[in-house]
Amino acid sequence: MTAALLAAESGNRNFVELDVHWWHWAVLLTIIVILLLVDLLVVHREAHEVHTKEAAIESAVWIGCGLSFSLVIWWWFGGAATGEYMSGYLIEKSLSIDNVFVWALIMGYFMVPQKYQHRVLFWGIFGALVMRAIFIFAGIAIIERFDWVLYVFGAFLLYTAGKLVFTDNDHVDPGESKFLKVVNRVVRTTNELDGQKLFTRKNGIRFATPLFSVLILVEATDVLFAVDSVPAVLAVSHEQFLVFASNAFAILGLRALYFLLADMHGRFAYLQEGLAIILAFVGVKMLIHNWYHIPTWLSLTVIVIVLTASIGFSLKADRNTAEDDLAHEAFVPHSDDDVRQPPMMD
């Protein structure tokens, strides 16, 4: 491979600069399109309920695809670029877990049958890829022209970290979305499903089904999450190709992750705190970039440790809660015969 990596760092930015050719983008986009087509036309050709085992296998495959592409990055551009790609991938993947739980709230609110949820999320992911590309290219262009924007992004990430700690997403009401109310005024909508179709016809008139409303909300929530995650990824890389690739592979696996984790929100008690620490870390990294550049390897290490610790503490807390519940059930009498008698004294 030609030396695509220009190892020299640019000024005080301390990020890799890549000589990305058109065919690099062609290969990346071709891989993404092939993966989407295989998922839609082969794996999920027929609408069906995705059970835990299937979701776990698909999640492992998608994660494997994301990690495997890091080898391609290493082959094309070298180790420094690979570090930035992996940092961006882990940040986007970890922040997306909260998005999954919000999707679960939306699906539950509209009572979408499980077998139709994958098709809605497929189009949601497709739209997310397009919007992320717009966010990324616009964000990097702004940073290139106005370096002070990094301080704005950094401060915003610190604010978002605080919101994660003090805000409870469990009480979000999808039906109160003002954006959705505007859409329903503009688009004729029926309350009846027609399989997994987004639009249907009644008496020759075209109506949007409830799945269309769900898709609109899924896209809207992704925009909101992108406002947090894209600046966070820009804290570890300013190279458009790396930022988009890491976002794309992290997002592609969200559907499988949704079916695996949607009903497990209660088991991740410390996840929001972990995500808040990651956001605060990258926010600080942005704020101090002009005086000190935190190396990519250190960023990657911090992200892995925090994410692993938050999941580990969450699972331990969930296990302890389950044991306490079992102990409580064993102690509480269910009938007069179950009442424990005090020990007899000799």
Residue type, 288: I
**pLDDT on residue 323:** 58
Best CA proximity match to 73, nearest among 297, 242, 298, 252: 242
Confidence class for position 300, pLDDT limits 50, 70, 90: confident
**pLDDT on residue 8:** 34
DSSP 12-60: TT---EE---HHHHHHHHHHHHHHHHHIIIIITSS-----HHHHHHHHH
Asked if residue 159 has pLDDT above 60, the reply is yes
* Greatest mean pLDDT range, 24-33, 143-152, 323-332: 24-33
* Residues paired with 346 in a beta bridge: none
Q: Report helix, strand and coil shares of the chain as percent, to nearest 5.
A: 70, 5, 25
pLDDT (tens digit per residue) in 204-234 = 788 888 888 888 888 887 777 777 788 888 8
**Vertex 247 angle, CA 229 and 313, to 5°:** 60
Give, to the nearest 10 degrees, the angle between helix 210-234 and helix 149-166.
120
**pLDDT on residue 12:** 38
226, 135 contact by CB (below 8 A): yes
Q: What percentage of the chain exceeds 90 in pLDDT? A: 16
Task: Enumerate the domain spans of the chain.
Answer: 5-155+168-264
Residue type, 334: H
- What predicted TM-score, i.e. pTM, was given to this entire model? 0.76
Q: Is 109 exposed, middle or buried (0-12, 13-18, 19+ CB in 10 A)?
A: middle
DSSP 50-107: --HHHHHHHHHHHHHHHHHHHHHHHHHH-HHHHHHHHHHHHHHHHHHHHHHHHHHHHH
- Name the token pair of 58: 């698909």
Mean pLDDT over all residues of the chain? 79
Asked if residue 129 has pLDDT above 80, the reply is yes
Compute the distance between CA of residue 325 and CA of residue 67 in angstroms, rounded to an integer: 39
Residues in CB range of 191: below 8 A, 6 or more apart: 210
Confidence class for position 339, pLDDT limits 50, 70, 90: very low
Residue 206 backbone dihedrals phi, psi, to 5 degrees: -85, 130
Compute the distance between CA of residue 26 and CA of residue 4 in angstroms, rounded to an integer: 16
Compute the distance between CA of residue 32 and CA of residue 261 in angstroms, rounded to an integer: 24
Q: What percentage of the chain exceeds 70 in pLDDT? A: 82
pLDDT higher for 182 or 155?
A: 155
Confidence class for position 21, pLDDT limits 50, 70, 90: very high
Mean predicted confidence (pLDDT) in 128-147: 84
198, 208 contact by CB (below 8 A): yes
Residues in CB range of 4: below 8 A, 6 or more apart: 18, 19, 20, 21, 24, 76, 77, 78
Asked if residue 263 has pLDDT above 90, the reply is no
**pLDDT on residue 328:** 57
**CA separation (Å) from 58 to 50, 97, 251?**
10, 16, 13
Mean predicted confidence (pLDDT) in 14-26: 90
Return the half-sphere exposure (C-beta side, CA atoms, 13 A cut-off) of residue 83. Answer: 16
Return the half-sphere exposure (C-beta side, CA atoms, 13 A cut-off) of residue 195. Answer: 7
